[in-house]
Structure 1
Protein backbone atom coordinates (compact mmCIF):
# COMPACT_ATOMS: atom_id res chain seq x y z
CA UNK A 1 0.00 0.00 0.00
CA UNK A 2 1.15 3.56 -0.75
CA UNK A 3 1.25 6.34 1.84
CA UNK A 4 1.22 10.13 1.86
CA UNK A 5 4.56 10.24 3.75
CA UNK A 6 3.20 12.95 6.00
CA UNK A 7 2.93 13.26 9.76
CA UNK A 8 0.77 11.42 10.54
CA UNK A 9 1.24 9.07 7.64
CA UNK A 10 -2.00 8.29 5.76
CA UNK A 11 -2.56 5.04 3.82
CA UNK A 12 -3.67 5.54 0.21
CA UNK A 13 -6.31 2.98 -0.76
CA UNK A 14 -6.90 4.16 -4.34
CA UNK A 15 -5.59 6.92 -6.58
CA UNK A 16 -5.89 7.91 -10.23
CA UNK A 17 -6.06 11.19 -12.17
CA UNK A 18 -9.54 11.95 -10.79
CA UNK A 19 -9.66 10.51 -7.27
CA UNK A 20 -7.77 10.02 -4.05
CA UNK A 21 -9.21 7.58 -1.49
CA UNK A 22 -7.45 7.36 1.86
CA UNK A 23 -7.80 5.38 5.08
CA UNK A 24 -8.12 8.15 7.68
CA UNK A 25 -6.43 7.33 10.97
CA UNK A 26 -8.41 7.78 14.16
CA UNK A 27 -7.65 11.10 15.85
CA UNK A 28 -6.97 13.01 12.61
CA UNK A 29 -9.17 15.95 11.62
CA UNK A 30 -10.93 15.79 8.25
CA UNK A 31 -10.22 19.47 7.60
CA UNK A 32 -8.55 22.37 9.36
CA UNK A 33 -10.17 23.84 12.46
CA UNK A 34 -9.32 26.30 15.25
CA UNK A 35 -6.89 23.84 16.91
CA UNK A 36 -4.35 24.00 14.10
CA UNK A 37 -3.87 20.23 14.39
CA UNK A 38 -3.02 18.17 11.28
CA UNK A 39 -5.93 17.42 8.97
CA UNK A 40 -6.64 15.14 6.02
CA UNK A 41 -7.21 17.88 3.43
CA UNK A 42 -4.00 19.80 4.17
CA UNK A 43 -1.83 16.69 4.42
CA UNK A 44 -3.19 15.22 1.19
CA UNK A 45 -2.65 18.52 -0.62
CA UNK A 46 0.96 18.45 0.55
CA UNK A 47 1.28 14.90 -0.76
CA UNK A 48 -0.15 15.86 -4.16
CA UNK A 49 2.06 18.93 -4.41
CA UNK A 50 5.16 16.80 -3.89
CA UNK A 51 3.91 14.28 -6.45
CA UNK A 52 2.94 16.80 -9.16
CA UNK A 53 5.25 18.36 -11.72
CA UNK A 54 3.61 21.79 -11.39
CA UNK A 55 4.55 24.24 -8.65
CA UNK A 56 1.04 25.52 -7.94
CA UNK A 57 -1.30 24.35 -5.21
CA UNK A 58 -3.12 21.23 -6.45
CA UNK A 59 -6.90 21.03 -6.49
CA UNK A 60 -8.38 18.68 -3.92
CA UNK A 61 -12.06 18.57 -3.03
CA UNK A 62 -13.20 17.25 0.33
CA UNK A 63 -16.48 15.47 -0.48
CA UNK A 64 -17.45 14.25 2.99
CA UNK A 65 -16.06 14.16 6.52
CA UNK A 66 -15.42 11.71 9.30
CA UNK A 67 -15.46 12.83 12.94
CA UNK A 68 -11.99 13.15 14.43
CA UNK A 69 -12.12 9.89 16.46
CA UNK A 70 -13.47 7.87 13.51
CA UNK A 71 -11.22 6.02 11.06
CA UNK A 72 -11.71 4.62 7.59
CA UNK A 73 -12.39 5.42 3.97
CA UNK A 74 -12.54 9.02 2.80
CA UNK A 75 -13.13 10.03 -0.83
CA UNK A 76 -11.47 13.16 -2.26
CA UNK A 77 -11.66 14.63 -5.77
CA UNK A 78 -8.57 15.74 -7.69
CA UNK A 79 -10.45 17.91 -10.19
CA UNK A 80 -13.57 20.05 -10.26
CA UNK A 81 -15.57 17.81 -12.58
CA UNK A 82 -14.98 14.76 -10.39
CA UNK A 83 -15.99 16.80 -7.34
CA UNK A 84 -19.23 17.86 -9.01
CA UNK A 85 -20.15 14.35 -10.17
CA UNK A 86 -19.37 12.71 -6.84
CA UNK A 87 -21.08 15.43 -4.84
CA UNK A 88 -24.25 14.73 -6.83
CA UNK A 89 -23.94 11.02 -6.03
CA UNK A 90 -23.66 11.91 -2.35
CA UNK A 91 -26.72 14.20 -2.53
CA UNK A 92 -28.69 11.52 -4.40
CA UNK A 93 -27.61 8.86 -1.85
CA UNK A 94 -26.27 6.62 -4.61
CA UNK A 95 -22.87 6.28 -2.97
CA UNK A 96 -23.00 3.30 -0.60
CA UNK A 97 -21.07 3.51 2.66
CA UNK A 98 -20.77 0.75 5.22
CA UNK A 99 -19.58 1.42 8.76
CA UNK A 100 -18.56 -1.06 11.43
CA UNK A 101 -18.96 -0.21 15.09
CA UNK A 102 -18.16 -2.02 18.31
CA UNK A 103 -20.84 -1.10 20.78
CA UNK A 104 -21.83 -1.83 24.34
CA UNK A 105 -25.28 -2.89 25.52
CA UNK A 106 -27.51 -5.56 23.99
CA UNK A 107 -28.65 -4.61 20.47
CA UNK A 108 -31.03 -6.89 18.55
CA UNK A 109 -29.86 -8.89 15.54
CA UNK A 110 -30.91 -6.05 13.24
CA UNK A 111 -32.93 -2.88 13.31
CA UNK A 112 -33.80 0.48 11.78
CA UNK A 113 -33.45 3.59 13.94
CA UNK A 114 -35.25 6.87 13.31
CA UNK A 115 -34.66 9.97 15.44
CA UNK A 116 -34.73 13.74 15.08
CA UNK A 117 -31.40 15.38 15.83
CA UNK A 118 -30.23 18.91 16.58
CA UNK A 119 -26.67 20.09 17.18
CA UNK A 120 -25.67 22.25 20.12
CA UNK A 121 -22.75 24.08 18.52
CA UNK A 122 -21.57 25.67 21.77
CA UNK A 123 -21.02 22.24 23.33
CA UNK A 124 -20.35 20.40 20.05
CA UNK A 125 -22.87 17.69 20.87
CA UNK A 126 -25.90 16.38 18.99
CA UNK A 127 -29.10 15.65 20.88
CA UNK A 128 -32.33 13.76 20.25
CA UNK A 129 -35.20 16.23 19.91
CA UNK A 130 -38.96 16.09 19.30
CA UNK A 131 -39.97 16.00 15.64
CA UNK A 132 -41.83 19.28 16.18
CA UNK A 133 -38.69 21.23 17.08
CA UNK A 134 -37.75 23.54 14.24
CA UNK A 135 -34.01 22.79 14.24
CA UNK A 136 -34.43 18.99 14.46
CA UNK A 137 -33.55 16.97 11.36
CA UNK A 138 -34.67 13.44 10.62
CA UNK A 139 -31.97 10.77 10.94
CA UNK A 140 -32.35 7.15 9.79
CA UNK A 141 -29.91 4.26 9.88
CA UNK A 142 -30.12 0.48 9.65
CA UNK A 143 -27.84 -2.00 11.36
CA UNK A 144 -27.13 -5.71 11.72
CA UNK A 145 -25.29 -7.37 14.59
CA UNK A 146 -22.57 -9.54 13.06
CA UNK A 147 -20.85 -10.93 16.17
CA UNK A 148 -20.88 -10.73 19.96
CA UNK A 149 -17.82 -11.14 22.21
CA UNK A 150 -17.17 -10.32 25.86
CA UNK A 151 -20.31 -8.17 26.25
CA UNK A 152 -19.41 -6.19 23.14
CA UNK A 153 -21.15 -6.27 19.76
CA UNK A 154 -19.84 -5.80 16.23
CA UNK A 155 -22.42 -3.94 14.11
CA UNK A 156 -22.60 -3.27 10.38
CA UNK A 157 -24.32 0.06 9.75
CA UNK A 158 -25.79 1.83 6.72
CA UNK A 159 -26.94 5.43 6.77
CA UNK A 160 -30.05 6.65 4.97
CA UNK A 161 -29.32 10.22 6.03
CA UNK A 162 -26.07 12.01 6.77
CA UNK A 163 -26.27 14.01 10.00
CA UNK A 164 -23.44 15.15 12.29
CA UNK A 165 -22.56 12.48 14.88
CA UNK A 166 -25.53 10.48 13.60
CA UNK A 167 -24.35 6.92 14.22
CA UNK A 168 -22.87 7.83 17.59
CA UNK A 169 -26.00 9.59 18.85
CA UNK A 170 -28.58 7.16 17.52
CA UNK A 171 -26.86 4.05 18.88
CA UNK A 172 -26.27 5.71 22.24
CA UNK A 173 -29.92 6.78 22.44
CA UNK A 174 -30.97 3.14 22.16
CA UNK A 175 -28.53 2.02 24.87
CA UNK A 176 -25.71 0.85 22.54
CA UNK A 177 -22.93 3.46 22.90
CA UNK A 178 -19.87 2.96 20.74
CA UNK A 179 -16.74 1.69 22.48
CA UNK A 180 -14.50 4.65 23.27
CA UNK A 181 -17.16 7.31 22.63
CA UNK A 182 -17.05 9.00 26.03
CA UNK A 183 -19.07 11.95 24.69
CA UNK A 184 -22.12 9.75 24.14
CA UNK A 185 -21.97 7.37 27.08
CA UNK A 186 -19.29 4.73 26.51
CA UNK A 187 -17.77 3.12 29.59
CA UNK A 188 -14.39 3.43 27.88
CA UNK A 189 -13.18 6.92 28.84
CA UNK A 190 -10.51 7.48 26.19
CA UNK A 191 -12.13 9.22 23.24
CA UNK A 192 -8.98 9.31 21.13
CA UNK A 193 -9.67 5.77 19.91
CA UNK A 194 -13.29 5.12 18.98
CA UNK A 195 -14.47 1.80 17.54
CA UNK A 196 -16.35 3.28 14.59
CA UNK A 197 -14.87 2.75 11.15
CA UNK A 198 -15.89 3.39 7.53
CA UNK A 199 -15.03 0.00 6.03
CA UNK A 200 -16.64 0.00 2.57
CA UNK A 201 -17.30 2.55 -0.15
CA UNK A 202 -19.14 1.86 -3.43
CA UNK A 203 -19.60 4.56 -6.08
CA UNK A 204 -19.65 5.23 -9.80
CA UNK A 205 -16.30 6.46 -11.07
CA UNK A 206 -16.67 10.02 -12.45
CA UNK A 207 -14.41 9.23 -15.41
CA UNK A 208 -15.06 5.77 -16.84
CA UNK A 209 -18.49 5.41 -15.11
CA UNK A 210 -17.73 1.91 -13.82
CA UNK A 211 -18.61 0.89 -10.29
CA UNK A 212 -15.76 1.08 -7.79
CA UNK A 213 -15.88 -0.94 -4.57
CA UNK A 214 -13.23 -0.32 -1.91
CA UNK A 215 -12.84 -2.04 1.46
CA UNK A 216 -10.51 -1.64 4.44
CA UNK A 217 -10.36 -3.95 7.45
CA UNK A 218 -9.96 -2.68 11.02
CA UNK A 219 -6.56 -2.81 12.68
CA UNK A 220 -5.73 -5.91 14.71
CA UNK A 221 -6.08 -4.14 18.05
CA UNK A 222 -8.65 -3.75 20.79
CA UNK A 223 -11.57 -3.93 20.53
CA UNK A 224 -11.58 -5.07 16.88
CA UNK A 225 -9.26 -7.97 17.67
CA UNK A 226 -12.02 -9.59 19.75
CA UNK A 227 -14.03 -10.38 16.62
CA UNK A 228 -13.11 -13.07 14.13
CA UNK A 229 -14.99 -11.45 11.24
CA UNK A 230 -13.06 -8.18 11.64
CA UNK A 231 -9.77 -9.96 10.97
CA UNK A 232 -10.78 -11.53 7.65
Structure 2
Protein backbone atom coordinates (compact mmCIF):
# COMPACT_ATOMS: atom_id res chain seq x y z
CA UNK A 1 0.00 0.00 0.00
CA UNK A 2 1.39 3.48 -0.82
CA UNK A 3 2.39 5.53 2.17
CA UNK A 4 3.86 8.86 3.14
CA UNK A 5 7.40 7.53 2.76
CA UNK A 6 6.98 6.51 -0.91
CA UNK A 7 8.91 8.58 -3.45
CA UNK A 8 6.77 9.54 -6.42
CA UNK A 9 8.17 11.01 -9.60
CA UNK A 10 8.20 14.79 -9.49
CA UNK A 11 6.97 16.76 -12.50
CA UNK A 12 9.26 19.08 -14.42
CA UNK A 13 12.61 20.47 -13.37
CA UNK A 14 13.49 22.64 -10.35
CA UNK A 15 13.51 25.72 -12.60
CA UNK A 16 9.90 24.98 -13.50
CA UNK A 17 8.95 25.12 -9.81
CA UNK A 18 10.29 28.64 -9.18
CA UNK A 19 7.53 31.13 -8.25
CA UNK A 20 9.70 34.07 -7.18
CA UNK A 21 13.34 34.98 -6.77
CA UNK A 22 15.53 37.97 -5.99
CA UNK A 23 18.82 38.48 -4.14
CA UNK A 24 17.14 37.80 -0.77
CA UNK A 25 14.58 35.04 -1.35
CA UNK A 26 13.46 32.22 -3.61
CA UNK A 27 10.11 30.44 -3.59
CA UNK A 28 9.15 27.12 -5.17
CA UNK A 29 5.89 25.34 -5.94
CA UNK A 30 6.81 22.14 -4.07
CA UNK A 31 5.53 18.91 -5.60
CA UNK A 32 3.56 16.67 -3.25
CA UNK A 33 5.73 13.85 -1.85
CA UNK A 34 8.97 15.86 -1.74
CA UNK A 35 10.29 16.73 1.75
CA UNK A 36 11.20 20.36 2.35
CA UNK A 37 14.33 19.57 4.40
CA UNK A 38 16.50 16.46 4.90
CA UNK A 39 14.85 13.59 6.76
CA UNK A 40 16.10 10.50 8.58
CA UNK A 41 15.96 8.45 5.38
CA UNK A 42 18.11 10.97 3.49
CA UNK A 43 15.43 11.37 0.83
CA UNK A 44 15.82 13.94 -1.94
CA UNK A 45 14.51 17.23 -0.54
CA UNK A 46 13.61 20.70 -1.75
CA UNK A 47 16.29 22.47 0.31
CA UNK A 48 19.12 20.54 -1.34
CA UNK A 49 17.54 20.58 -4.81
CA UNK A 50 16.93 24.33 -4.54
CA UNK A 51 20.45 25.05 -3.30
CA UNK A 52 21.90 23.10 -6.23
CA UNK A 53 19.65 25.04 -8.60
CA UNK A 54 20.74 28.50 -7.36
CA UNK A 55 24.30 27.35 -6.60
CA UNK A 56 24.35 28.73 -3.09
CA UNK A 57 23.16 27.82 0.40
CA UNK A 58 19.51 28.36 1.18
CA UNK A 59 17.94 28.88 4.59
CA UNK A 60 14.52 27.39 5.51
CA UNK A 61 11.84 29.79 6.71
CA UNK A 62 8.82 27.49 7.05
CA UNK A 63 7.78 23.92 6.22
CA UNK A 64 5.08 21.97 4.45
CA UNK A 65 4.31 18.35 5.24
CA UNK A 66 5.92 15.94 2.78
CA UNK A 67 2.61 14.82 1.18
CA UNK A 68 1.42 18.43 0.66
CA UNK A 69 2.12 20.60 -2.42
CA UNK A 70 2.47 24.35 -2.86
CA UNK A 71 4.40 27.48 -1.94
CA UNK A 72 7.65 27.06 -0.01
CA UNK A 73 9.85 30.08 0.68
CA UNK A 74 13.60 30.00 1.36
CA UNK A 75 16.01 32.80 2.20
CA UNK A 76 19.32 33.32 0.43
CA UNK A 77 20.73 35.24 3.41
CA UNK A 78 20.45 34.62 7.14
CA UNK A 79 19.22 38.16 7.79
CA UNK A 80 16.32 37.63 5.38
CA UNK A 81 15.58 34.28 7.02
CA UNK A 82 15.37 35.98 10.42
CA UNK A 83 13.13 38.84 9.27
CA UNK A 84 10.60 36.68 7.47
CA UNK A 85 10.64 34.02 10.21
CA UNK A 86 9.71 36.75 12.69
CA UNK A 87 6.65 37.52 10.57
CA UNK A 88 5.57 33.87 10.80
CA UNK A 89 5.97 34.01 14.57
CA UNK A 90 3.98 37.25 14.74
CA UNK A 91 1.25 35.71 12.51
CA UNK A 92 1.48 38.55 10.01
CA UNK A 93 2.04 36.10 7.15
CA UNK A 94 -1.17 35.17 5.32
CA UNK A 95 -1.47 31.49 4.32
CA UNK A 96 -4.26 30.14 2.15
CA UNK A 97 -4.64 26.48 1.21
CA UNK A 98 -6.92 24.55 -1.11
CA UNK A 99 -8.21 21.21 0.14
CA UNK A 100 -10.02 18.38 -1.61
CA UNK A 101 -12.29 16.38 0.70
CA UNK A 102 -14.64 13.47 0.19
CA UNK A 103 -17.36 14.68 2.57
CA UNK A 104 -18.73 18.21 2.30
CA UNK A 105 -18.83 19.97 5.68
CA UNK A 106 -22.29 20.67 7.07
CA UNK A 107 -21.61 24.43 6.96
CA UNK A 108 -20.35 26.17 3.83
CA UNK A 109 -18.14 28.51 5.87
CA UNK A 110 -16.96 28.34 9.45
CA UNK A 111 -14.09 28.97 11.83
CA UNK A 112 -12.84 25.81 13.53
CA UNK A 113 -11.18 25.85 16.94
CA UNK A 114 -9.69 22.65 18.34
CA UNK A 115 -6.99 21.68 20.81
CA UNK A 116 -4.23 19.52 19.38
CA UNK A 117 -1.42 17.51 20.92
CA UNK A 118 1.27 15.42 19.29
CA UNK A 119 0.42 11.73 19.44
CA UNK A 120 2.22 8.53 18.56
CA UNK A 121 3.15 7.65 15.00
CA UNK A 122 3.60 11.23 13.75
CA UNK A 123 -0.07 12.06 14.22
CA UNK A 124 -1.63 15.14 15.81
CA UNK A 125 -4.57 14.33 18.08
CA UNK A 126 -7.60 16.53 18.69
CA UNK A 127 -8.25 16.47 22.44
CA UNK A 128 -10.24 18.28 25.10
CA UNK A 129 -9.24 21.81 26.02
CA UNK A 130 -8.42 20.64 29.55
CA UNK A 131 -5.41 18.64 28.27
CA UNK A 132 -2.41 20.68 29.40
CA UNK A 133 -0.22 19.30 26.61
CA UNK A 134 -2.58 20.55 23.89
CA UNK A 135 -2.24 23.74 21.85
CA UNK A 136 -5.07 25.83 20.45
CA UNK A 137 -5.57 25.42 16.69
CA UNK A 138 -7.75 27.76 14.63
CA UNK A 139 -8.59 27.95 10.95
CA UNK A 140 -11.35 29.29 8.75
CA UNK A 141 -12.71 27.50 5.70
CA UNK A 142 -15.20 28.18 2.94
CA UNK A 143 -16.75 25.82 0.45
CA UNK A 144 -15.82 26.61 -3.16
CA UNK A 145 -17.05 23.88 -5.51
CA UNK A 146 -17.91 20.22 -6.03
CA UNK A 147 -16.90 17.72 -8.72
CA UNK A 148 -18.59 14.39 -9.35
CA UNK A 149 -17.04 12.82 -6.24
CA UNK A 150 -15.19 15.46 -4.23
CA UNK A 151 -15.49 18.92 -2.72
CA UNK A 152 -13.06 21.85 -2.75
CA UNK A 153 -12.46 24.02 0.32
CA UNK A 154 -10.41 27.17 0.77
CA UNK A 155 -8.56 27.17 4.09
CA UNK A 156 -7.12 30.20 5.89
CA UNK A 157 -4.75 29.25 8.68
CA UNK A 158 -4.98 31.38 11.81
CA UNK A 159 -2.46 29.35 13.83
CA UNK A 160 0.35 27.09 12.69
CA UNK A 161 0.20 23.72 14.43
CA UNK A 162 1.65 20.45 13.19
CA UNK A 163 -0.78 18.69 10.78
CA UNK A 164 -3.35 21.30 11.78
CA UNK A 165 -5.50 21.33 8.63
CA UNK A 166 -5.34 17.56 8.37
CA UNK A 167 -6.36 16.99 11.99
CA UNK A 168 -9.09 19.63 12.10
CA UNK A 169 -10.77 18.56 8.86
CA UNK A 170 -10.60 14.96 10.04
CA UNK A 171 -12.21 15.98 13.32
CA UNK A 172 -15.30 17.39 11.56
CA UNK A 173 -15.68 14.32 9.34
CA UNK A 174 -14.20 15.86 6.19
CA UNK A 175 -10.70 14.36 5.92
CA UNK A 176 -8.49 15.28 3.00
CA UNK A 177 -8.53 12.97 -0.01
CA UNK A 178 -5.79 10.38 0.48
CA UNK A 179 -5.13 11.26 4.12
CA UNK A 180 -5.64 7.89 5.80
CA UNK A 181 -3.93 9.14 8.97
CA UNK A 182 -6.90 11.38 9.60
CA UNK A 183 -9.82 9.32 8.42
CA UNK A 184 -9.90 9.07 4.61
CA UNK A 185 -10.54 5.49 3.55
CA UNK A 186 -8.00 5.15 0.72
CA UNK A 187 -4.48 6.42 0.21
CA UNK A 188 -3.32 8.16 -2.97
CA UNK A 189 -0.52 6.91 -5.17
CA UNK A 190 2.82 7.83 -3.62
CA UNK A 191 1.21 8.58 -0.25
CA UNK A 192 0.42 12.19 -1.21
CA UNK A 193 -2.70 14.04 -0.05
CA UNK A 194 -4.86 16.62 -1.82
CA UNK A 195 -3.82 19.69 0.13
CA UNK A 196 -2.16 22.59 -1.70
CA UNK A 197 -0.49 25.68 -0.19
CA UNK A 198 -1.98 28.08 -2.72
CA UNK A 199 -1.12 31.61 -1.55
CA UNK A 200 1.55 33.01 0.77
CA UNK A 201 1.73 36.74 1.54
CA UNK A 202 4.44 38.48 3.57
CA UNK A 203 6.43 41.72 3.79
CA UNK A 204 9.70 41.73 1.86
CA UNK A 205 12.62 41.65 4.33
CA UNK A 206 14.41 44.60 2.68
CA UNK A 207 11.86 46.76 0.85
CA UNK A 208 8.99 46.12 3.25
CA UNK A 209 6.55 45.86 0.34
CA UNK A 210 3.89 43.18 0.49
CA UNK A 211 4.68 40.11 -1.62
CA UNK A 212 1.96 37.66 -2.65
CA UNK A 213 3.05 34.29 -4.03
CA UNK A 214 0.50 32.07 -5.75
CA UNK A 215 1.26 28.45 -6.64
CA UNK A 216 -0.47 26.89 -9.66
CA UNK A 217 -2.44 23.77 -8.81
CA UNK A 218 -1.12 20.23 -9.16
CA UNK A 219 -1.90 18.41 -12.37
CA UNK A 220 -4.25 15.44 -12.48
CA UNK A 221 -7.94 14.71 -12.94
CA UNK A 222 -8.97 15.40 -9.34
CA UNK A 223 -7.70 19.00 -9.38
CA UNK A 224 -8.74 19.53 -12.98
CA UNK A 225 -12.30 18.76 -11.91
CA UNK A 226 -12.34 22.12 -10.09
CA UNK A 227 -10.97 24.35 -12.84
CA UNK A 228 -14.15 26.43 -12.89
CA UNK A 229 -13.76 27.53 -9.26
CA UNK A 230 -13.08 31.23 -8.73
CA UNK A 231 -9.66 30.76 -7.04
CA UNK A 232 -8.05 28.88 -9.88
CA UNK A 233 -6.21 31.84 -11.34
TM-score (norm: length of structure 2) = 0.88
The CA distance in 1 between the partners of 2:159 and 2:11, in whole Å, is 33
> Are residues 1:17 and 2:23 paired?
yes
Q: Which residue of 1 aligns with 2:57?
A: 59
Contact kept? 1:225, 1:231, Cα under 8 Å: no
Q: Which residue of 2 aligns with 1:129?
A: 127
Local SS of the residue matching 2:191: coil
Tell me the alpha carbon deviations over residues 101-159 of structure 1, each in whole angstroms, 9 at most, x when there is no partner.
00121212101111110112x41111111111121111000000011222421100011
Q: Which residue of 2 aligns with 1:109?
A: 108
Local SS of the residue matching 2:48: helix
Query: What are the equivalent positions in structure 2 for 1:137-216 lying under 5 Å apart?
Result: 137-190=135-188, 192-216=191-215
Tell me the alpha carbon deviations over residues 193-231 of structure 1, each in whole angstroms, 9 at most, x when there is no partner.
311000111111111111111112213413111112265
Could you tell which deviates more after superposition, 185-194 or 212-221? 185-194
CA RMSD of aligned residues (A): 1.8
By how many angstroms is 1:184 displaced? 1.1
Paired residues in the alignment total 218
Q: Which residue of 1 aligns with 2:41?
A: 35
Q: CA separation of 1:34/1:220 partners in 2, compared to 1, >3 Å: closer, same or farther?
A: closer
Contact kept? 1:147, 1:155, Cα under 8 Å: yes
Contact kept? 1:114, 1:139, Cα under 8 Å: yes
Tell me the alpha carbon deviations over residues 160-219 of structure 1, each in whole angstroms, 9 at most, x when there is no partner.
110010000100110001011121111332262311000111111111111111112213
Contact kept? 1:220, 1:231, Cα under 8 Å: no
Structure 2 unaligned spans of 5+: 1-9
Contact kept? 1:104, 1:176, Cα under 8 Å: yes
Local SS of the residue matching 2:35: coil
Local SS of the residue matching 2:221: coil
Local SS of the residue matching 2:96: strand
TM-score (norm: length of structure 1) = 0.89
Q: Which residue of 1 aligns with 2:4?
A: none
> Are residues 1:44 and 2:43 paired?
no
Structure 1 unaligned spans of 5+: 1-5, 50-57
By how many angstroms is 1:8 displaced? 7.6
Q: Which residue of 2 aligns with 1:99?
A: 97
Q: Which residue of 2 aligns with 1:55?
A: none
